[in-house]
A = this chain, B = another copy of it.
Amino acid sequence: MRAVIFDLDGTLVDTVYGHVLAWHKVLEEGGFEVEGWKVHRLIGMSGGLLTKAAAHEIGRELSEGEAERLQKRHGEVYKELMPRRRALPGAIELLRHLHDTRVKFGIATSGRRQDAKPSLDVLQLPAGAVIVDRNDVERAKPEPDLFLAVQEQLKVRPEECYVVGDAVWDLLAARRAAMLGIGLLSGGYGHEELDRAGAYRVYSNPAELLSSIYQLGLRSA
- Name A's B-contacting residues (CB within 8 A): 14-18, 20-21, 24-25, 28, 33, 35-37, 39-40, 81-82, 84, 86, 88-89, 185-193, 205
Besides A15-B36, A35-B205, A190-B190, 4 more A-B contacts (Cβ < 8 Å) are A35-B88, A36-B186, A81-B81, A192-B192
- Please give me the residue from chain B that is nearest to A205 by CB atom: B35
Task: Point out the residue from B16, B28, B35, B193 that lies within 8 Å of A190, measured CB to CB.
Answer: B193
Q: Copies per complex?
A: 2
A-B pairs, top 7 by smallest CB distance, nearest first, are A190-B190, A192-B192, A17-B36, A37-B188, A190-B193, A21-B21, A17-B20
A-B contact pairs, 7 of them (CB 8 A): A17-B20, A35-B89, A35-B186, A36-B186, A37-B186, A190-B192, A190-B193
Distance of A16 from chain B, by nearest CB (Å)? 6
Given the complex of chains A and B, what is the CA–CA distance between A190 and B190 in angstroms?
5
Given the complex of chains A and B, what is the CA–CA distance between A81 and B82 in angstroms?
11
Given the complex of chains A and B, what is the CA–CA distance between A35 and B189 in angstroms?
13
Given the complex of chains A and B, what is the CA–CA distance between A200 and B81 in angstroms?
37
Beyond A190-B191, A192-B190, whether A185 also contacts B37 by CB under 8 A is yes
Beyond A190-B190, A191-B192, whether A40 also contacts B17 by CB under 8 A is yes
Check A36–B188 contact: CB distance below 8 A. Answer: yes
Chain B residues within an 8 Å CB radius of A25: 82
Distance of A205 from chain B, by nearest CB (Å)? 7
Distance of A87 from chain B, by nearest CB (Å)? 10
Chain B residues within an 8 Å CB radius of A17: 17, 20-21, 24, 36-37, 39-40
Distance of A61 from chain B, by nearest CB (Å)? 20
Check B190–A189 contact: CB distance below 8 A. Answer: yes
Distance of A124 from chain B, by nearest CB (Å)? 17
Distance of A60 from chain B, by nearest CB (Å)? 15
Given the complex of chains A and B, what is the CA–CA distance between A33 and B21 in angstroms?
19
- Please give me the residue from chain B that is nearest to A22 by CB atom: B21
Distance of A215 from chain B, by nearest CB (Å)? 21
